[in-house]
Structures are given as C-alpha cells and as structure tokens.
Amino acid sequence: MFKLFSSVAAAAALCLGCPLSGSAGTTNVTVGSPTDRFAPAVVTIAAGDQVIWTWTAIHHSTTSGTNGAAGDDNGVPSGLWDTGLINTLPHTFTNTFPVAGNFSYFCSMHFNMGMTGAVIVTSGIIPPTISITNPATGALFVAPASVTVQAAVTNGSGTVTNVQFRVGSTTLTNDNAAPFAGTTNNLAAGTYTLTAIASDNNGLKATNSVNITVDTPPAVTITNPLDNAMLSAPANVTIQASASDPDAGGSVTNVQFLVGSTVLTNQTTAPFSAAKNNLAAGSYTLTAIASDNLGVKTTNSVNIVVDTPPTVSITNPVSGTVFIAPANLTIQASASDPDAGGSVTNVQFLVGSTVLTNETTAPFSAATNNLATGNYTLTAIASDNLGVKNTNAVTINVVTPVQTILGGTAQTFSTNFQFSYSANVGLSYIVQRSTNLAEANWITLFTNLAGSNPVVFVDNHATNGTGFYRVGRLPNP
C-alpha cells in the first residue's frame, strides 16, 4: 500500500470553502479518479492560491491531517478542513491557502487504501512565532504568587507589533516592544493557564500557553520546646511540631527535624516529633520543615540554650546533725559555675519552704535562729547567669535535751570502772573524772557523740583509789 504524507509546517488559519478571487491561482484535483485516489496526489501552489477538489465518485472526503501512529490504519485530522463523506454528484470543494507550508490530507473512508494527498504552498505571508520562556509549563508557585510571564518572538513576513499576555481569559497587559513581559501579582492557590499572543502588521497571530500551579504552603509550628527555652546539660530534648495543609485535598507528607544543620529524622505521619539526647552546653537552633503533597515547604525554628548547671554544696551543718532546742545556726554553702564565662549570681537559702535570704556574693551563708524541736530540711539553691539552677539540701534534727543522769549498775573491775548515763542520740557529751571533787582536779576522759540512750561508759584506766565521775552535755556546734 502506498501512502504519501507531508508534515504540516504552518499553523495559520486556512480559508475553508472561500469564493474564488480574481487574483488567486487555481489548481484542480480530481477525487476518486481513476480508482480511490486524488489526482494529482501532490500539488504545488503559491501562497494565496486555491485548490478545487471535484468528485467523480461518491463515498470520498478531503480531510486535512496526517498519518497516525505506527500500525494505525486511520488518519489524524488536523482540523484545517474536512468535507465529510460526499454521497451526491456533482460536487466541488474550494480551499484557499494564504500561507506557505506543506498540508497533508486524506480520504477518511479510504485512508488505509492509500487515498492520501498533499498541498505544497511555496511562498506567501509567514506568521510570527512566539514562545513563553518563563515560567516553564508545570511550574509550581507559592501563594500568594507574583509571576512574571516572559516571551520570545520571531517575526515572520511582517513585524510583531504587540504581544498580549493573559491569565486564563483575563488580559494582563499588551506589550508593544521587546523584551515582551507581563506580571501578575497575588495569585491565589489554584491552576492557571498563562497565554502570550503575538500580532504582526499583517494581522497574523501566533499563540503559546503554559500551565502553572499555585499552592498554599503548609503550616508548621514547633510546640515543644518553647523558643529561648533553657535546659540543663546534658540535655535530652523531644521536639514536637503541629503541621497541616490548608489546600482543599492537600496533605502534609513529611516533617523533617533538624538540630542546626543536622537532620534528626523525617516523620511522615502525625504526631510529628523527634528526640535528641545528650546535648552539651551551648546554643542550638531546632527546626521543623513541613512538605505538602505538591512539594511546597514551610519552616519553623526555635532557639534553645543548654547550660551546665552551677554546683552547690552545703558545707555547714553536716546532714544528720542534731541540735539542742532552741537552735541558732548558720548555714554555709560553696557554689561555682563550670561554664566558660559563667558565674553564680545568687544562692537562695531555705528552711523547709521558708526562704531565709538570697545571697549574691561569696561567701554564701544564712542564719536561722530559735529553731524549735523538730526535723528540718535546709536547702541552698544556686542560680547562674543564664538562670539555670542547682540544689543541695541537708536534714537536721532539733531536740529537747533530756536530763543527764548517771545510772545503771556501776561495775568495778581490777583495771576499769563502768556506768551509764541518759543522753539525746546525736548530741555530744563529755565525761570527766576527779579524785577529790576540786574543780581544778577534773580531767576529761572522753568526748562522745551519743549513739544510744542510755550511753554505757567504761573507764579502762580506773584504779583501786577513790574516783568521782561527771557527765556534761556540750553546747550546739
């Protein structure tokens, strides 16, 4: 089977069925002669000339178009002209070709039998060409979008006098000098067709269009930690974020979490969170980047400071110390800040939940007086220059002293003497001996922190001579 086609090299409108002009040349083509053919199958004419098709048999058409895909037995109409199948005779069809180019055509019923033809137009008025150079078709913008449409044009036979830019069917601007461009602002979310139409001084036009999408970005907010949060080193941080897409049918497909420029994780489903452990002292930027189903991203960041806490230690009294009521005592503490450039700005002292004082300079101490019988927690809270705190606490016991009575069964051995005395556990007692009760003759044998009541005392250096013993309670330390 023989098929003859020529590519369509021009897209300007052709006159369908125009009347013959006195100045136009005419070329005749027979339809259906000798058998299911156009005769001649290929004609060459000048721009502005006419072709007259005359039917010699029915059930034929002249339809502009080309061959289909490989193996396709049907033609593909181009839409320039189509007579449809003619079933009555006599019949003629006239078409004027104003522009140069190669125009293929076929019989819609006998295409697969090789009934094809072509009109070659050798000269004439050539229309301009136009191409939108920016944006590219399929480009994605973030709402509200400002878009500059740029176009490149090439003159045909005439000179381009105007380029009209449109957004959909709305005219944006008419630009009459190169470089040709038009700007549209505040485009809401949606899909848009941007069109550029070039017109020349011969009245011919050329059109080019691109499609773009404008997308509302997703929303993302880090909900934890708060901006400028202060954490103690080594810090364990769970970053939490809320994210949503306001577009109809849109969705958040991913939230990426970063510490500085380091990616922690990518979360594809809510709730969106990421953990970072053992952050050393320093300043950090935590970032969450949400992406929607069109690839548009939104970023939210917070800053945190990780600070090594100050050190603080109560040096007096020692935890567990017992005092006699009413007790007057001075709480002393040492405090320092290990951070480079850091400093302790305050040490707060408390008895239970009651604040005694706030000390801003070393040595750090506070006095409390007349503590009644009871158990107490003494606390020192050190704060550094970034507001990070550290706490140290001790417990003490204030007691009502029992009367010191020597009692029990005194026992005498060859080299020692034993007796007992009543005491408050935790208080200090002094044991003395004398041979004649003279004040200057009393000798201290032992100083003891009572661990029981009563306390058993043994003098391992007793002799067979006369001896007197006394026990005294020492004052509060």
What b/e sequence results for 68-103 when a residue is b if at least 16 CB atoms lie within 10 Å of its CB, and e otherwise? Answer: eeeeeeebbebebbbbeebeeeeeebbbbbbbbbbb
Q: Is residue 24 part of a domain?
A: yes
210 plus 139 within the same structural domain = yes
CATH number of domain containing 106: 2.60.40.420
Q: Are 386 and 345 in contact (CB under 8 A)?
A: no
Rounded to a whole number of angstroms, the distance between the first and last alpha carbons of the chain is: 123
pLDDT for residue 413: 60
The pTM score is: 0.57
Rounded Cα–Cα distance for residues 15 and 100 (Å): 13
469 plus 456 within the same structural domain = yes
153 plus 209 within the same structural domain = yes
Average pLDDT over residues 289-310: 96
Q: Is residue 3 part of a domain?
A: no
pLDDT for residue 221: 98
Q: Is residue 7 part of a domain?
A: no
Give the domain extent around 375: 311-398
394 plus 413 within the same structural domain = no
Task: Return the bridge partners of 276, or none.
Answer: 237
pLDDT for residue 3: 34
300 plus 316 within the same structural domain = no
Q: Is residue 8 part of a domain?
A: no
pLDDT band, very low/low/confident/very high, at 410 (cuts 50, 70, 90): low
Q: Is residue 358 part of a domain?
A: yes
454 plus 389 within the same structural domain = no
Domain end residue (candidates: 73, 94, 121): 121
pLDDT band, very low/low/confident/very high, at 472 (cuts 50, 70, 90): very high
Over 50: is that where the pLDDT of 465 sits? yes
Q: Cα–Cα distances in Å, from 28 out to 49, 286, 369?
A: 11, 80, 128
Q: Is residue 6 part of a domain?
A: no
pLDDT for residue 425: 95
Average pLDDT over residues 193-210: 94
pLDDT for residue 17: 38
- Which residue, 214, 219, 293, is CA-closest to 249? 293
pLDDT band, very low/low/confident/very high, at 67 (cuts 50, 70, 90): low
Per the prediction, the chain carries an average pLDDT of: 89
pLDDT for residue 170: 95
pLDDT for residue 412: 62
Q: Which residue has the higher pLDDT, 4 or 270?
A: 270
Q: What is the DSSP letter of 308?
A: P
Highest mean pLDDT among 115-124, 234-243, 462-471: 234-243
Q: Is residue 4 part of a domain?
A: no
Rounded Cα–Cα distance for residues 383 and 449 (Å): 36
Structure tokens at 365: 């101490």
Number of domains in the chain: 5
Least confident of 35-44, 219-228, 314-323, 375-384: 35-44
227 plus 295 within the same structural domain = yes
pLDDT band, very low/low/confident/very high, at 323 (cuts 50, 70, 90): very high
What b/e sequence results for 177-187 when a residue is b if at least 16 CB atoms lie within 10 Å of its CB, and e otherwise? Answer: eeebbbebeeb
CA angle (62 as vertex; 58, 63 as ends), nearest 5: 135
Contacts 24+ apart (CB under 8 A), 78-81: 78/8, 78/104, 80/8, 80/13, 80/14, 80/16, 81/14, 81/16, 81/105
Over 60: is that where the pLDDT of 233 sits? yes
Q: Which residue has the higher pLDDT, 98 or 106?
A: 106
421 plus 467 within the same structural domain = yes
Q: Are 147 and 212 in contact (CB under 8 A)?
A: yes
Least confident of 9-13, 157-161, 242-246: 9-13
243 plus 208 within the same structural domain = no
Rounded Cα–Cα distance for residues 24 and 34 (Å): 28
Domain end residue (candidates: 71, 104, 121): 121
pLDDT for residue 14: 45
pLDDT band, very low/low/confident/very high, at 22 (cuts 50, 70, 90): very low
Average pLDDT over residues 354-359: 97
Over 90: is that where the pLDDT of 31 sits? yes
Domain end residue (candidates: 398, 421, 448): 398
- State what percent of residues in the chain have pLDDT above 70: 91
363 plus 302 within the same structural domain = no
- Count of CB atoms situated within 10 Å of the CB of 175: 18
362 φ, ψ to 5°?
Answer: -75, 155
Over 90: is that where the pLDDT of 126 sits? no
CATH number of domain containing 364: 2.60.40.10
105 plus 196 within the same structural domain = no
Residue with tokens 């089977």: 1
Q: Is residue 10 part of a domain?
A: no
19 plus 117 within the same structural domain = yes
